[in-house]
Amino acid sequence: MKIFIDSADLKEIEKYLSWGICDGVTTNPTICLKCGVTGGLEGIKKRTIEIAKLIRPCPVSAEVTTDNIEEVISQAKEYSQWAENVVVKVTVIDRQGDSLLPAIYKLLSEGVRVNVTTIMTFNQAILASKAIEAGLKNNPKAKIPNFISIFAGRISEEQGVEQAAKVIKNTRQWLDFHQYHGIEIIVGSIRSPENVELWSRSGAHILTIPPQVIAKSSLAARTKETVSQFINDAQKSLTQMEKM
């Protein structure tokens, strides 16, 4: 299983690269704003290119800012030129509830890597996967993997964490059964270490984890206490050994 860092902060990303746990990065304009990016789309472009260079060849997802199909296609094509490891985030539907699969299918057919996002149901997941797979078949030179992002945190808020796990598990089984090897499941909107534990065992290829959740996941009170005991005991033992 891979971990994608949900951040646009270069220092944070460098930190988790140094830990050996960063397999990719996901961003959006809101994340960029929180991480101090300025200058509108040009600022996002500059930061995305910096991230892409930093983590190459791992992917960085950049999100389109429209749900108009023609504009989605145009923006996605532009973003894909920023760096070879840029993947474009496109929502599965628009604000009116109409499908954006036509845009996704066209982008894959033209060689643009996508991350189909805001997926909340098994049905949305398999339809998005079908569109991606069809686009890949149209373009044998298309890059893989492409991604479907299941928003497990939002599912769990409405229907419980077990339902979120069920959607992930059923989608993974479906992808494996039909041998859709060019598609990976990203689980997003992770809120807690408990989410990390449950959903990493539910068949996700990737967890997108915010830095604050990574920090909490690396800690345990009992472990901290035990480390302190080990170090203190070791230092006392060394002192006694030096006196012998």
**Could you confirm whether 89 is annotated as catalytic?**
yes
3-state secondary structure of 140: coil
Q: Identify the active-site residue in 15, 45, 77, 89.
A: 89
Q: Which of 54, 79, 42, 84 is nearest to 64 (CA)?
A: 79
State residue 61 phi and psi, 5-degree precision: -95, 130
3-state secondary structure of 96: coil
Angle at which helices 10-19 and 40-55 cross, to 10°: 20
Q: Where are the beta strands (DSSP E) in 7-155?
A: 24-26, 60-63, 86-91, 114-119, 146-151
Amino acid identity of residue 138, one-letter, is N
What is the set of active-site residues?
89
